[in-house]
Amino acid sequence: MSEGEALVLSTPGAHREMEPKRVRVPNDNSCLFYAICYVCEESADAASATTAAKQQELRGVCAAAARADPDPVSRALQLGQDVEAYATWIMKEHNWGGEHEVICLADHYRRRVAVVSADATLTYGDAGPTAYLFYTGTHYDALVGECGGEETRRFAGGGGEAFEAACAALARTHRDAAARREASEKIYTIKCSGCGAKLADAAAFQAHCGEVEHDDDFAYDCETIFEAVYDDDAA
């Protein structure tokens, strides 16, 4: 398959639509670099795309692009800091990559990169086939096409309207599930020393002591904890 070709998948006698598949990468501050490596480097697998060496390599690409800008004053305005400060900042693995880094890496890989979220699909770069990223608002994952068990990471001319609509639907499904999960969250801060019941706060513990019969040794003691519990049906 040549560099600019899309992988065409079909089955005898029937047309099968390409479906989007989210490929998860580690949920740390280098997720953008892992995800973009996976969708842009054909030889990368999940292991090689998510190494410390790879995220440092791609951070270095972004730092070098900033330093090479012939108009460092304009670049500094875009970055919100001077070029050298940015170049130092982006090399630190606890700092996130974002839109500026997507632009740099789209140029580096000579790809059109489409970032899909629940609100919009934004594209960066205009060279080469399209690579897709999934963005939750705080995390990037790789987004690929799958049909008949085969995977496509890059699409000549884009994935098409049906594929991109399915990508957007996947992002909205994630957002809605996250909202339900957050709404179902229950926080416990107190544990009854008598029966082990977990309560939300001191007022709940006081009510618990009045409603629940404990043994004769119970001295109305409790311990402070922190525990967040979700309703599994809301995930």
| Average pLDDT of the chain to the nearest whole number | 87
Whether residue 173 is found in the same domain as residue 192: no
* Sequence-ordered list of residues with C-beta below 8 angstroms from that of 39, at least 6 positions apart, any chain: 131, 132, 133, 142, 143, 144, 153, 154
Q: Which domain holds residue 125?
A: 19-182
12 within a domain of the structure (yes/no): no
* pLDDT score at 110: 95
Higher per-residue pLDDT: 71 or 232: 71
Tokens of 3: 């560099």
139 within a domain of the structure (yes/no): yes
Whether residue 223 is found in the same domain as residue 152: no
The conformational region for residue 149 under phi > 0 = left, psi -120 to 50 = alpha, else beta, is: left
- In total, how many domains does the chain have? 2
Read off the pLDDT of residues 108-166 as tens digits, 9 standing for 90 and up: 999 999 999 999 999 999 889 999 999 999 999 999 998 888 889 989 888 899 999 99
Checking if the pLDDT of 89 tops 60, the result is yes
CA dist 40 and 94 (Å) reads 23
CA dist 69 and 78 (Å) reads 12
Checking if the pLDDT of 15 tops 70, the result is no
* pLDDT score at 232: 59
Q: Is 13 exposed, middle or buried (0-12, 13-18, 19+ CB in 10 A)?
A: exposed
What pTM, to 2 d.p., does this model score? 0.71
Q: Tell me what the mean pLDDT of segment 184-191 comes to.
A: 78
Checking if the pLDDT of 48 tops 50, the result is yes
Higher per-residue pLDDT: 69 or 189: 69
Count Cα atoms within 13 angstroms, Cβ side, for 94. 0
CA dist 48 and 13 (Å) reads 37
Checking if the pLDDT of 181 tops 60, the result is yes
